[in-house]
Amino acid sequence: MSNTSKSFIISQELCDSLSQELGTLKRENTLLKQSLREQQTQAVATSEDLFLELLEVGDALENLLKLLDNPNLSPEFIARLPRNVGAVYRKFLNVLAKRQVSQIETECIEGTQPDFTLCRVVEQEVVADIPEQSITKIVRQGFRYGEKVLRPVEVITSKKE
C-alpha cells in the first residue's frame, strides 16, 4: 500500500471566501447557542411560575382539609364551605387561563345532540321526554388549549330503552 498524500491548490479568492463563510457560520452557531440558553432559562422560569401558582392552589386546598378535620364544625363554616371551595376552583381556573387553557363552554348544551369534536359520551340513560342521543348530564368538564381540545366534555345522553 502506498502512503501518498494529495495536495490541492485553491485560489486566494476561494480561500478568503471559505474563511469568511466559516467565520459567519461560527458567529451564527454562537448566536444560536445563546438563543437556546435564553429559551431554556425562560422555559424554566415559566415552569417555576406555574409550580408556584399550583402550590398556592394546593395550600388553599390543604387549609380547607385541615378545617374539615375539626370534629366541631360550626354551621357558619359549613354555610361558607361552598363559597370557599368555589374560590379555590376559580383560582385554579385562573392559573389555567394564564396559560391559554380554558373550559369548553357547556352552558345550554343539556338537551342538545353532542358535538363529538368537543364531547365524549360516557354513559346513556333512559329518558322518555327528550329526543334520543340528547345530552342529559355533564359528567366531567372539558378543556381546550387555544383551539385544541385537551379533554372533551364527558356527557351522559338519553336513550329510549
Could you list the pLDDT tens digit for every one of the 161 residues in the chain? Answer: 566 788 888 899 999 999 999 999 999 999 999 999 999 999 999 899 999 999 999 999 999 999 888 888 888 988 999 999 999 999 999 999 999 999 999 988 888 899 999 999 999 999 888 889 999 999 999 999 999 999 999 999 999 87
pLDDT of residue 16: 93
Cell of 56: 398556592
Contact call for residues 149 and 142 (beta carbons, < 8 A): yes
107 and 63 within one domain: no
Residues 55 and 114 in one domain: no
In a domain, 6, yes or no: no
Q: CB-based contacts of 138: which residues, under 8 Å, 6+ apart?
A: 106, 109, 110, 153, 154, 155
Q: What total of structural domains would you count in the chain?
A: 2
Q: Which domain holds residue 119?
A: 102-159
Question: 1 in helix, strand or coil?
Answer: coil
- The dihedral built from the CA positions of residue 86, 88, 94 and 97, taken in this order, carries a sign that is negative
In terms of domains, do 76 and 48 share one? yes
CB 125 within 8 A of CB 158: yes
Give every strand in the sheet of 148-151, ordered side by side. 101-103, 143-145, 148-151
109 & 93 share domain: no
Whether 140 maps to a domain, the answer reads yes
- Boundary residue ending a domain (55, 76, 99): 99
20-40 tens-digit pLDDT: 999 999 999 999 999 999 999
Pairing of strands 143-145, 148-151: antiparallel
If asked whether residues 84 and 132 sit together in one domain, one would say no
Q: Is residue 150 domain-resident?
A: yes
**130 assigned to some structural domain:** yes
Do 135 and 80 share a structural domain? no
Residues 127, 90 within the same domain: no
